[in-house]
Structure formats: structure tokens, C-alpha cells
Chain A
Amino acid sequence: ELKVEQNPLFLSMQEGKNYTIYCNYSTTSDRLYWYRQDPGKSLESLFVLLSNGAVKQEGRLMASLDTKARLSTLHITAAVHDLSATYFCAVTSWNYGGSQGNLIFGKGTKLSVKP
């Protein structure tokens, strides 16, 4: 069974600081996703990481993937209040000849950036 664990689950940061959210998953998966969710809203796709060593950056967020360690990180640089949201990582259970790629989500990291 594919399991996804995120930590921390809650993160309170001051503006201007850096921090990293970690996402571990339990079995082989070659696609990892990061989503952002604002309260009461839908899931906004941030990054899709497709291969070992993949690194993607968008503004103050940078995501990386280490498939050997089964670990992805979401690094926040110089946080601003607008980044306050819940961040989910998700992996697919897809494998060759397997499923259609339904997403297995972590519990999410609720980020609060304070002035």
C-alpha cells in the first residue's frame, strides 16, 4: 500500500525566513505532485516532478525529488504572508501495467506566515 507522509503538519513562520517541507512516500512512484490549497478552495497545482533529481522553482517555492530516498522537499525562501496556505504532496500509484494514476495525498502542511 502506498503511503505518503508529510512533515511538519503545521508550520508557523515569520516573513523573510526560509523553511523546508518534507514529503516521504513508501513505494516506488515516478511522479510526485505539490498542490496548494487555500481555506475552502480547490487544489492548485504547483509542481509536477517526474524524475530523480528533478528540481523546479516558481517564485519563492522550489521543489525537488529524490526517488532513491523516496523524498521530495518543498523549500520556501523569504516567506511572505501570501504563501499562507496548506500544501499537499501527492504521488501516483501508477506503474507499468497498473492503475490509471489516482493520487495518494499526504496529510498536508498548514503554513502560516506572520509579519
Chain B
Amino acid sequence: EPEVTQTPSHQVTQMGQEVILRCVPISNHLYFYWYRQILGQKVEFLVSFYNNEISEKSEIFDDQFSVERPDGSNFTLKIRSTKLEDSAMYFCASSEGGGGQPQHFGDGTRLSIL
């Protein structure tokens, strides 16, 4: 069964550094999402992406964050000047269509900011 893959599985970074989290969505999916989950808390929406542009973003997704689809397969989340509170599990998801179509989640990247 096709799946969403994320790399790396765990990223440790010094505060203030930039990180790039990578995702390969399911190949025929057109809508892409990033969510984060701080340890022990609920999953929070960050951003959705369609047709090479951001569709929606939450209050969390400020100027520190950016997303990109650099080629036909990868979908990346860049976090500039990381802060301690950015430590979380970051999940990528994709769906075939928008409008609430089922989203398939990757295994996540655990980001630890020191």
C-alpha cells in the first residue's frame, strides 16, 4: 500500500539553527499538509499546500516556517532560527483531493532543539 515517507526520523539541532524536514507524499496525491505534535499534546495543523502554493496556514505557521515542493516528489518544511519550543513531532500528510478527503500520515520526524 502506498505510504507517506518522512526523513529524518529524528533530528537534533542547536537552538538558532535552521532545519529542513522532508516528506515524500503518496504519488497521486495533490494536497499536502504539515502538522506538529508537542510531546503529550494534541496534533496541531500547521499548513496545507496545493498547486504549488500554500492553501491555508495556522497561527503557528509564522515567518519562521516555510514549505516548498522543490521537485515532483518531495515536500519540505523549513524552520529558520529554531527555538526550544519548536521541539515536537512533525507529521506530513497527503490526500488525493481536498475538501476533507482522508489524509494519510507519515511516521513523523521527531525534532529536538537543544
Contact = CB atoms under 8 A, between A and B. Distances in A.
Interface of A: 30-31, 33, 35, 41-43, 45, 48, 88, 90, 92, 94, 99-108
The 4 nearest A-B residue pairs measured at CB: A92-B100, A31-B100, A101-B100, A100-B98
B36 to A, nearest CB: 11
Given A42-B106, A42-B108, A107 B98 contact: no
Given A42-B105, A90-B43, A99-B56, 19 more contacts: A41-B107, A42-B91, A42-B106, A42-B107, A42-B108, A43-B105, A92-B99, A92-B100, A99-B48, A100-B31, A100-B56, A100-B99, A101-B95, A102-B45, A103-B33, A103-B103, A105-B43, A107-B42, A108-B42
B42 A103 contact: no
B99 A45 contact: no
Contact of A100 (B55, B91, B102, B104): B55
A43 B108 CA distance: 9
Contacts of A48: 102
A30 B100 CA distance: 9
22 contacts: A30-B100, A42-B91, A42-B105, A42-B106, A42-B108, A45-B103, A88-B43, A92-B100, A94-B100, A100-B48, A100-B55, A100-B98, A100-B99, A101-B31, A101-B98, A102-B48, A102-B56, A103-B35, A103-B103, A104-B45, A107-B41, A107-B42
A101 B105 contact: no
Nearest to B101: A101
Contacts of A30: 100
Interface centre among B43, B56, B101 (most CB of A within 10 A): B43
Interface string B70-108: 000000000000000000000100010011111111111
A54 to B, nearest CB: 14
Interface in B25-71: 31, 33, 35, 41-45, 48, 50, 55-56, 58
Contacts of A101: 31, 48, 95, 98-101, 103
A41 B98 CA distance: 25
Contacts of B44: 105
